[in-house]
Amino acid sequence: MGRDSIEGHCLCGAVRVTLFNPKDHVEVCHCHMCRRTGGAYYGALEGAGFTFASEEHVGVYRSSEWAERGFCKQCGSTLFFHFLPTGNRSFAAGLFDGADNLPISKEIFIEGKVAWCAGEGDHPKQTGEEVIAEAKAGGFTFD
């Protein structure tokens, strides 16, 4: 990424995290636990260290003998995966606006990849602008 740090936050903003020396790529996991946690695959961003500005809102769930998963106690956003044997934490790449265009360096548990995560095929695809226009045409309003 070429940065010393990157800042991110959960959906509601209660948890803010700074990731130091972030890697310049995202790793993706397709295992069944990641799918259940986030609804799809887990896109992971790692760095050399991190700090939370508001740790009181961080919840932790022990998902296996070897891992914990962090989440926001307020909005439920997935925050991190903590691999206990090494102490390594990978953060949900979606927390960080600056990670939007990072390439995928590796996918793991690829046998768990589900068809609807691929995004391939001949089916309608809409932009956000098109979705909002359709909703407005249906009588919905947005603040």
Tell me the pLDDT tens digit for each residue of 73-125: 999 999 999 999 999 999 999 999 989 999 999 999 988 888 887 767 777 77
Q: How far apart (Å, rounded) are the C-alpha atoms in residues 68 and 80?
A: 8
Q: Is residue 143 part of a domain?
A: no
Instruction: Give me 110's structure tokens.
Output: 């690829």
CATH of the domain at 54: 2.170.150.70
- Label residue 119 exposed, middle or buried (CB < 10 Å: 0-12, 13-18, 19+): exposed
DSSP secondary-structure letter at 76? -
- Residue 80's domain comprises 5-137
- Domain assignment present for 142: no
Whether residue 71 is contained in a domain is answered as: yes
pLDDT of residue 2: 63
What's the average model confidence in pLDDT over 12-36? 94
**79 falls within a domain:** yes
Q: How many Cα atoms within 13 Å fall on the side-chain side of residue 7?
A: 6
Return the pLDDT at 14.
Answer: 98
Structural domain contains residue 16: yes
Worst-scoring range by mean pLDDT, 26-35, 50-59, 72-81? 26-35
125 part of a folded domain: yes
pLDDT of residue 40 exceeding 80: yes
Average pLDDT, the chain: 91
Strand partners, 7: 18
As for how many domains the chain has, the answer is 1
